Amino acid sequence: MSKTIAIGADHAGYLYKARLIEHLKSKGFEVVNVGTDAADSVDYPVFADKVCDCVASGKAAFGILICGTGIGMSMSSNKHKGIRAALCTDLVMAEYTRLHNNANVLCLGARIIACEMAEMIADKFLETEFEGGRHQRRIDLFDR
């Protein structure tokens, strides 16, 4: 069965989101698009909440969130219980946040990286498995 990815963006990220949705579908993923889908100014935490709810409830295996820098989306997402959101600007960060942090939400900055890089980062994030072991022990400490 194909994995479901929940994806959201603010006005700074919605064009990247549209490209990423097509990219993810071409790779066989199911996609839940929570918006926004226009250039009108919106508040990024609203869309972070929607994506994080999908991931925390199990409706989606992973989330992807895009704003201008990716910073606001990551700050907002990490307020949610059970969410480990990682802002990634390169492939090494995407790989290691899956290997070591078991990140379940990927945050991207549309004003920071090229759209092609965003696609490559998403691919790396989604294809990399968590290593577990000592890294699980460290993640467990998040919930003290």
45 touching ligand RB5, by CB under 6 A = no
Q: Which residues of 67-88 are buried (b: 16+ CB within 10 A; e: fewer)?
A: bbbbebbbebbbebeebbbbbb
Q: Is 67 noted as a catalytic residue in this protein? A: yes
Q: How far apart are CA 55 and CA 61, in angstroms?
A: 6
Number of residues that bind ligand RB5 (CB under 6 A): 8
83 touching ligand RB5, by CB under 6 A = no
Q: Are 131 and 97 in contact (CB under 8 A)?
A: no
Enter the tokens of residue 82: 């059970």
Binding to ligand RB5 by CB under 6 A, coded x per residue (else -) over 105-144, reads ----------------------------------------
- Provide φ and ψ at 53, rounded to 5°: -60, -40
Q: Is 54 noted as a catalytic residue in this protein? A: no
Which of residues 33, 69, 97, 104 is near ligand RB5 by CB under 6 A?
69
Residues in contact with ligand RB5 by CB under 6 A are 10, 12, 44, 67-69, 71-72
Q: Which residues are catalytic?
A: 67, 100
